[in-house]
Amino acid sequence: MLTIAVLAIAALGQTDPFPPASGWTLYSGPNASTLWHGYRQKAFPAKGWTVAGGELRVAKGGGGGDILTNAMFGDFEAAFEFKLGEKSNSGIIWRVTEKHDASWQTGPEYQLLEDATYGVSSTDGHSCGALYDLAPPATGKVMKPVGEWNEGRIYLRNGLLQHWLNGVKVVEMTIADANGTPTKAWLDAIAGSKFKAYEGFGLQPRGGIAVQDHGDTDLALRNFFLRDLGTARTGEVALFNGHDLTGWKAVVPEAAAKGLAPESVWSVRDGVLVCAGNPVGYIRTTATYTNFILRLQWRFDPAKGAGNSGVLLRMMGEDKVWPKSVEAQLHSGNAGDFWNIDEFPMTTDPSRTKGRNTKKTHGAERPLGEWNEYEIIVNKGDVILKVNGEELNRATGVAEVPGHLCLQSEGAEIHFRDIRLVPLP
């Protein structure tokens, strides 16, 4: 099971549990009625839906109809809690346009169903957490009894779709490639479903996010957070310009002895930063950073095989191999591990720590040759490592000092792109 930020929300109430500048917006708070409108309507429904006590509610037979966010989303993440009454049926539907009669005719759905009283199997393609009529939830799904709060999460980024229910990933599907082209698996799923009759279903690049009112829906939502993963965040800066090493310094101690310029280990091809891997060393930012959210993408060349690298955080002291820092591992198959370099002050889970290495909780890398994404949150004494949207490791008590960011050259060719940082207060 995965500990994700939404699990802490219940204890925190309406206090934002996410780091500042992380891009989340609360859609179930006191001003929720200003963030939603009725489907194919101009305003929030005058009946059926209520906003009170930190909850967004729809009552059975209220006649409110579906609601849709005013904002449009492409890639996004949703984290929410939901409570269903007996035999209640609803859903969260994404990339919805208003060109058809109903929201579900353009947008795929995270099904919200009270399985037990509805009398469906936990792995039915129409049960809670399913990608409705397109992919059933995996075995091992856990739901709370009727009337209790459950935690849900939807993650859609660079074509990778995930559904989570109570901390367990229940659906994963690659619906598009790196260029946004729908995959054969996604097109086949649509063709085999009832949605094939609706032009454009599941193929819209952007749309609103809807909550469904079936008429028999008794649903409460709280701590409903959304963030757009496809747009720049406030204060975000690009650390790599796509052309050269401006803003970076190469540190490759063996280069001079081999008659090489340190920078020669690195090159740029079609906007991608390519590290040859030899000689070993790193590039580091010329600027230093203390608290931040760092996002970057990486891949290994499948023709050259798996390899090793890492992202060094809060690097301080002298340039050497390897400098004092916290390493977010990029070794193929081990992304999400921590390495403590040169006795950097930090605390990790002792059950997963051996010497300087703290193992990840589980694997989340995509197949060799595909792009992966790190989201690394460095916030005061906390460092959180997320790979492809999944939290894999967390350190506490990390020394809060300004330091450089480094990308390692460690024996294998590795590619980087979209290196972006949001400074935190």
Query: Does 5-228 match 237-423 in CATH topology?
Result: yes
| Distances 354 to 77, 322, 358 between C-alpha atoms, Å | 33, 19, 6
Amino acid at 71: A
Judged against a pLDDT cut of 70, whether residue 191 lies above it is answered with yes
Give the pair of three-digit tokens for residue 12. 């925190």
**Mean pLDDT across the stretch 168-174?**
97
Judged against a pLDDT cut of 90, whether residue 62 lies above it is answered with no
What count of Cα atoms within 13 Å lies in the side-chain half-sphere of residue 16? Answer: 13
Residues of the chain with pLDDT > 70, as a percent, come to 95
Residue 235 φ/ψ, nearest 5 degrees: 85, 0
| Local confidence band at 369 (pLDDT 50, 70, 90 cut-offs) | very high
* pLDDT tens per residue, range 13-60: 344 567 667 889 999 999 999 999 999 999 999 999 999 999 999 988
* pLDDT tens per residue, range 172-183: 999 999 789 999
In the chain, where the domains are located: 5-228, 237-423
Q: Provide the mean pLDDT of the chain.
A: 93
pLDDT of residue 20: 63
Indicate the CATH number of 237-423 among 1.10.3720.10, 3.40.50.2300, 2.40.30.10, 2.60.120.560. Answer: 2.60.120.560
Residues of the chain with pLDDT > 90, as a percent, come to 88
Fold assignment, 5-228: Jelly Rolls (2.60.120)
Do residues 25 and 79 make contact, with C-beta atoms less than 8 angstroms apart? no
pLDDT of residue 241: 97
Give the pair of three-digit tokens for residue 114. 């009270």
Look up the pTM and report it.
0.89
pLDDT of residue 17: 62
Judged against a pLDDT cut of 80, whether residue 3 lies above it is answered with no
**Mean pLDDT across the stretch 169-192?**
95
Judged against a pLDDT cut of 80, whether residue 291 lies above it is answered with yes
pLDDT of residue 215: 87
pLDDT of residue 257: 81
